[in-house]
Amino acid sequence: MLYPEIYKLSDHVPLIIEIGIGKINTDINIWSIKKNSEEEKDFISSLVQGVQSLDISTIRSKANLKTLVQ
């Protein structure tokens, strides 16, 4: 189901799916970072530093690019 009424400030609409799996109880873990939190700032900073540290001088072909991004 789509829940556009609970999208808040995001430009995404939450999607909630229920999947019946029989008698097995499965725990669900949701990982997220709160918007404008220190964790978000640290994550973005780490991501930017990682991208900036990439050696792009070896990119001469799609294969080189694929190797770099992996």
Q: How far apart are CA 53 and CA 49, in angstroms?
A: 6
Residue 11: pLDDT above 60? yes
For residue 12, what is the DSSP state?
A: S
Long-range contacts of 53-56 (CB under 8 A, 24+ apart): none
Q: How far apart are CA 37 and CA 7, in angstroms?
A: 19
For residue 56, what is the DSSP state?
A: G
Question: Is this model's pTM higher than 0.95 or not?
Answer: no
Among 14-18, 21-25, 54-58, which range has the highest average pLDDT?
54-58
Question: What is the amino acid identity at position 67?
Answer: T
Residue 31: pLDDT above 80? yes
Residue 55: phi and psi, rounded to 5, are -85, 100
